[in-house]
Structure 1
Amino acid sequence: MPPPASLDPWMVGRHFGVVIDAGSSGSRLQIYSWKDPGLATVVKGSELEFTLPKVEKGTEKGDEWVTKVEPGISSFGNNPEGVAKYLQPLLSHARTHIPPSLEKETPLFLLATAGMRLLSPKKQAEVLQQACKFLRLHSTFKIDDPSATGPCGSSVRIITGEEEGLFGWIAVNYLMDGFTGASQNRTTYGFLDMGGASTQIAFEPGNVNEHDSKNLIDVRLRLMGGQEIKHKVFVTTWLGYGTNQARERYVGKAITEFEVSRSDSQDVVPDPCLPKGLEITEKPVHDAPSNAHSKKAHRLKGTGSFEGCMQKTEALLNKTAPCPDSPCLMNGIHVPSIDFSVSHFIGVSEYWYSSEHIFGLGGAYDFVQYERAASKFCSRDWGGIMKQHQLSKAQHRLGGDGEVEKDGKVVEVGKWHPSVERSRLEMQCFKAAWIANVLHQGIGIPRITDPGGNVTTDGDEVEKEAEKKGLGPAFQSRDTVGDIAISWTLGKMVLEASKEVPMRPNHRPLVDPIEEIPDTPGFHIQPIRPPFWTLGGIEDRITPLLPVNLTRTSLGFSPVIFLLLVSFFFIAIIAYPMRRQIRGSCLRSLRHATKRDEGYSLEEGIALNGHNSRPGSPPSTTAKWLYPIRRVFSSTGTKPQPVALSVVTSHNPNLRHINTTPTRLSPTRSHSLPVDLEVTASSTQYATRNSISRSPSPAPALLDESLFVVNNTHALNGLSSLTRSRNTSQMSLSSTLAPRMTRTASFQGPGKLQDE
């Protein structure tokens, strides 16, 4: 399918954004769109001036704005190279539905959640690195440059549970018109989200004291008129308080209690949180005692008591945990006081599924009605539930009995949500009890939702009565508003669309809420930063060790990056003049490593800076390295003078200084110095007088071993090593030379040249 044409009326002036929600079980790509805020005509005082850009689905018709692949991206922790093939269908889908002309200006985000948080930092970095590389190489979507966040900046990263909560809070209030209107004093909705592993809360506290203000995060958005709105939001998460992990903790506790009180005749653990008669086998993961039997899988049999399940699961809230920072809700985690007469909450994910898919009670929450439906379901015989479930499947309608009552009579059956499967039916009693306990005993939402105190059994009645008094229900579960699903990905796109509104003078650019975290030690939210080797990554690791007055926030720039750049610049200034010496040293070290078994030495002294070294001593490695440094810092700035070679000869026992300044020599004739060498052969000792040829140097330079070669190819075949003689001033060959050494020219003495 070709991408849509940019001349399509629906496409005119439309911008896009792409989010890949990389979860634990799969990755879902969602395409959003909005009209370019810069092209809108905003009349002062109009309703449009005080609204946010309208974010819609990224396709005009159908559900092709969403696609998903499985499993989760975290499954590539041991095979990061497989990420490219995994992301290919998602990227292809996005490129199919976005015009190529708009691709460069379309932001793309891959934001990983729960599954990636469980990997080691090294594996996190490897997976994100491969994802970043693939998205950059195979598309032209707008992706951030490398930063402390990662190789693709904020475009490819792992978000915390708190960030999910903040983005979800934006989405809820955007859809419920919580940001609309000229007055910025209106109350916003709180946000509750429960998944399998954790649950989050995000809300804007009222009457915040000075202590709580330190725990709030600024969420800034820009309305169509250019006006910036700012809300201070509290957000936190409870790990292990999602439905799946809560069930694991519950099973461990139930088996522990069973093993303490069990008798030999007992073999099945009674479980009030399973429908009556249902038997399943589960292995304890948490809270199991130390004996081996208790760690084995146990059979649990449902007794079908919702009230009993409420009592058993309440202890999992851990309300008795120490609270170092009062007030606390669950597990000793501080949460500012909530005024439920003003603050109203919307729950998504499991809050919606457990209320709507089985009980049909999604929307305004009434505990009395909810408790009645849950009690009836739990007490039903499991055999009857499965019989109805099979009948529904045969009718191409998944579910259980799905009874709908009106005035005490069953008027409809089989109305459970089409996505209900056996696993949902098995765990529905537990999940219903756990959600009710989290809402009431954990968060503190009142059971009687009508502020007037009337006990009602209909959520619609509760909502109507509350609206009459100018209030909404204290809690309601939602999945969508209109045709837009409530999700944290929508909140992220609302923020991105808001960034495109033309900015007024003296306003700051909008950023993600996580970047607004106060720079205070011990703040309860910490971004996830895998160990990427970038300047930003180094800064992120050093900054916590610095005093507050030396941080980027206090100085207005990064002192860490500044010092690193200055250090690199200083090293470059020193290294550049030494580049030839460094290169030569590296090459000599390489040659020495490859020819260490063929090395030879000469009995000479080499002067440094015009001063002779001690005869017979090898050149100092330290001196060789100090020479170019001295040359760099020399105050004279003149070139070094030609170095004289000192050689001990038989004609002059004293040091004879021979100037190495080149003279014009014949390119075809070699000249020899009357020097005696002491050579040690591998098998034979021999001595003879020989000449050493010196090749003319084209320019003044230090004279070293590389300027000398033995002028006899036959002798080289038997030569294994050359050693220095420190006991004589005469250098001689100390072994009989088997092949006769031939030379083309030699000096017999000063002024005498003989050809052979």
Structure 2
Amino acid sequence: MAGKLLALLPPALLAAAGLAGLLLLSVPTRDVREPPALKYGIVLDAGSSHTSMFIYKWPADKENDTGIVGQHSSCDVRGGGISSYADNPAGAGQSLVECLDQALQDVPQERHAGTPLYLGATAGMRLLNLTSPEAAASVLEAVTRTLTQYPFDFRGARILSGQDEGVFGWVTANYLLENFIKHGRAGRWFRPRRGTLGAMDLGGASTQLTFEAAGPAEDPASEVQLRLYGQQYRVYTHSFLCYGRDQVLQRLLASVLQTHDAHPCWPRGYSAHVLLREVYASPCTTALRPPTFDPTAEVSLVGSGDPALCRSLVSGLFSPAPCPFSRCSFNGVFQPPVAGDFVAFSAFFYTVDFLRAAMGLPVGTLRQLEAAVAAVCNQTWSELQARAPGAGPRLPNYCPAAMFVQQLLSRGYGFDERAFSRVTFQKKAGDTAVGWALGYMLNLTNMIPADPPGLRKALALSAWAALILLFALLLLAALVLLLRRARPAKPPGAL
């Protein structure tokens, strides 16, 4: 049947079809860049109080040698930080299994072997490494054994320095807020003209302050230079070990046990049993440890809810040490004056968010923050429980935590009212958590070679339009001719 239909087509039409085919073959083509495949990376943030896993993804090609990275998914590891497994190193590795199993599902199987996997431990492990290097090494060996059992490209487990933690947190914040590079409406990446912002991180065992410096630092140990998206940055950063939220609470508790019968930062009506071994186990409380004490002893302590005495206790954490530079923050540490916009995250955010959301108190100025702290510290235990029923076990310590945040910003870092008005307390930017892990991943993409872009042959748009129109006309002409030839001839004498 097909042969008969073709026979009905006039030779001129068949010739035209052949000519169109030749035109298709002869039309010049151009190379078109195929969309790059996705790469994945996994970072385990092993903090002092818990571990979080973040999975990132980015196009296989790169922009100015730095990958365009976004968060794909995350997982919170159950239990405490890996440093809490000093007496049971194997437990540290086992604690990661549930989240690593999730990573097997979140990362496409064909990408497993090429997905780098890193573990970075922060201040909790830095403290453990100070007190027991052998225990710290055993914990890292245990988590390494677990991580190497998975099909990812394991690149190592290490303890980050405080400087690393501060700088990578700064990178994360500025990347998420598009201060390094921005995707324009025209589909091109460009560098915004606005400057970077500073970053303040408050973890469980340390706190970090990082911002771009106007000139060379008086203390070279506090300066880092790095290159991102073709731009060079000079950054001031310092990490204060033992000034994280959990360690500050332990230090305050140790001070109270020495000089007070009641805890002025705990609410009236609250009491707790304190195990002395836990109070003095940290190197942060070594200086406050009694010469002789029974580590198995348990002390009952009540709260007195005294904001003035609590403020005095917290202020004692900031040593009036001599400053060998033109300007210092505290403890004799060099710091240039804070300037520009800042983002404060981690426990900074959670503490201020409690004051705003749970207590309904304004914190837009330093004066308001100070008043909000005093209001929380004046609450009785029953009043606090009624105001914030879902706060959990952290509720008794929101007064000392908030008092510390307020004192750290004003007394420690030197924020006045004008500078404080430019501080934003933030947990996430978009769907991505603000912290050091993404900055770490961004830095590490510089060591991951970019895949060469795949090319395919393609016609110009105008050539495609012309050929489609030609074939449509040929098809229409063929159908008309077929219908005319297939129509039966009229019988003689028909009207």
- Provide TM-score, normalisation by structure 2: 0.70
Q: Is the 8 A contact 2:92 2:142 kept in 1?
A: yes
Matches of 1:138 and 1:501 in 2, distance apart? 22
Give runs of ≥4 in structure 1 deviating > 6 Å. Answer: 49-52, 361-364
Which residue of the partner structure matches residue 373 of structure 1? 372
User: 1:355 deviation in Å?
Assistant: 0.7
Deviation by residue 1:194-222 (Cα, 9 ceiling, x = unmatched): 1222211112211335x445641122223
Please, which of 53, 57, 60 is the counterpart of residue 33 of structure 1?
57
Which residue of the partner structure matches residue 109 of structure 1? 118
Task: Describe how 1:179-328 pairs up with structure 2 within 5 A.
Answer: 179-180=180-181, 186-208=194-216, 211-212=218-219, 215-222=222-229, 228-258=230-260, 269-282=261-274, 283=276, 285=280, 286=285, 287=288, 299-318=300-319, 320-328=320-328
Q: Do structure 1's residue 89 and structure 2's residue 98 form an aligned pair? A: yes
Equivalent residue letter for 1:245: Q
Q: Is the 8 A contact 1:191 1:345 kept in 2?
A: yes
Deviation by residue 1:672-720 (Cα, 9 ceiling, x = unmatched): xxxxxxxxxxxxxxxxxxxxxxxxxxxxxxxxxxxxxxxxxxxxxxxxx
Q: Is the 8 A contact 1:25 1:72 kept in 2?
A: yes
Equivalent residue letter for 1:316: L
Q: Is the 8 A contact 2:338 2:414 kept in 1?
A: no
Matches of 2:292 and 2:195 in 1, distance apart? 54
Please, which of 353, 358, 374 is the counterpart of residue 356 of structure 1?
353
User: 1:78 deviation in Å?
Assistant: 4.6
Q: Do structure 1's residue 24 and structure 2's residue 24 form an aligned pair? A: no
Matches of 1:15 and 1:487 in 2, distance apart? 21
Structure 1 unaligned spans of 5+ = 1-10, 39-48, 60-64, 145-154, 223-227, 259-268, 390-398, 401-417, 451-472, 504-756
Which residue of the partner structure matches residue 330 of structure 1? 330
User: 1:84 deviation in Å?
Assistant: 5.2
Please, which of 149, 153, 174 is the counterpart of residue 142 of structure 1?
153
User: 1:100 deviation in Å?
Assistant: 1.9
Q: Is the 8 A contact 1:171 1:488 kept in 2?
A: yes
> Does the C-alpha gap of structure 1 residues 212 and 501 become closer, same or farther in structure 2, counting only changes over 3 Å?
farther
- 1:334 is paired with a residue whose SS is coil
Q: Do structure 1's residue 442 and structure 2's residue 412 form an aligned pair? A: yes
- 2:405 is paired with a residue whose SS is helix
Q: Is the 8 A contact 2:226 2:233 kept in 1?
A: yes
Matches of 1:483 and 1:230 in 2, distance apart? 28
Matches of 2:55 and 2:48 in 1, distance apart? 20
- 2:417 is paired with a residue whose SS is coil
Q: Do structure 1's residue 15 and structure 2's residue 39 form an aligned pair? A: yes
> Does the C-alpha gap of structure 1 residues 307 and 357 become closer, same or farther in structure 2, counting only changes over 3 Å?
same
> Does the C-alpha gap of structure 1 residues 500 and 312 become closer, same or farther in structure 2, counting only changes over 3 Å?
same
Task: Describe how 1:413-452 pairs up with structure 2 within 5 A.
Answer: 420-421=391-392, 423-449=393-419
Structure with bigger helix share is 2
Please, which of 134, 137, 143 is the counterpart of residue 131 of structure 1?
143
- 1:328 is paired with a residue whose SS is coil
Q: Is the 8 A contact 2:206 2:242 kept in 1?
A: yes
Matches of 1:271 and 1:78 in 2, distance apart? 31
Deviation by residue 1:336-356 (Cα, 9 ceiling, x = unmatched): x1243xx32211111111110
Task: Describe how 1:166-181 pairs up with structure 2 within 5 A.
Answer: 166-180=167-181
User: 1:95 deviation in Å?
Assistant: 1.4
- 2:331 is paired with a residue whose SS is coil
Which residue of the partner structure matches residue 74 of structure 1? 83
Equivalent residue letter for 1:486: V
Matches of 1:339 and 1:89 in 2, distance apart? 42
User: 1:308 deviation in Å?
Assistant: 3.8
User: 1:271 deviation in Å?
Assistant: 3.6
> Does the C-alpha gap of structure 1 residues 176 and 184 become closer, same or farther in structure 2, counting only changes over 3 Å?
closer
Matches of 1:289 and 1:349 in 2, distance apart? 33
Structure whose alpha-carbon radius of gyration is higher: 1
Please, which of 469, 473, 482 is the counterpart of residue 430 of structure 2?
482
Matches of 2:240 and 2:221 in 1, distance apart? 20
User: 1:449 deviation in Å?
Assistant: 5.0
Q: Is the 8 A contact 1:50 1:180 kept in 2?
A: no
Matches of 1:80 and 1:384 in 2, distance apart? 42
Deviation by residue 1:273-301 (Cα, 9 ceiling, x = unmatched): 222333334456443665869x9765544
Equivalent residue letter for 2:48: S
> Does the C-alpha gap of structure 1 residues 54 and 382 become closer, same or farther in structure 2, counting only changes over 3 Å?
same
Task: Describe how 1:598-637 pairs up with structure 2 within 5 A.
Answer: none
User: 1:185 deviation in Å?
Assistant: 7.3
Q: How many pairs are equivalent?
A: 396
> Does the C-alpha gap of structure 1 residues 376 and 497 become closer, same or farther in structure 2, counting only changes over 3 Å?
same
User: 1:112 deviation in Å?
Assistant: 1.9
Matches of 1:321 and 1:305 in 2, distance apart? 27
Q: Is the 8 A contact 1:364 1:476 kept in 2?
A: no
> Does the C-alpha gap of structure 1 residues 377 and 109 become closer, same or farther in structure 2, counting only changes over 3 Å?
same
User: 1:170 deviation in Å?
Assistant: 0.5
Task: Describe how 1:642-721 pairs up with structure 2 within 5 A.
Answer: none
Deviation by residue 1:9-31 (Cα, 9 ceiling, x = unmatched): xx972211111122334432221
Q: Is the 8 A contact 1:365 1:477 kept in 2?
A: no
Q: Is the 8 A contact 2:202 2:208 kept in 1?
A: yes
Which residue of the partner structure matches residue 641 of structure 1? none
User: 1:186 deviation in Å?
Assistant: 4.4
- 2:136 is paired with a residue whose SS is helix
User: 1:79 deviation in Å?
Assistant: 4.7
- 1:273 is paired with a residue whose SS is coil
Equivalent residue letter for 2:348: Y
User: 1:69 deviation in Å?
Assistant: 3.4
With 477-486 and 122-131 compared, the bigger mean Cα shift is at: 122-131
Structure 2 unaligned spans of 5+ = 1-34, 183-189, 452-495
Deviation by residue 1:469-508 (Cα, 9 ceiling, x = unmatched): xxxx3322110112211111111222234555869xxxxx
> Does the C-alpha gap of structure 1 residues 198 and 134 become closer, same or farther in structure 2, counting only changes over 3 Å?
closer
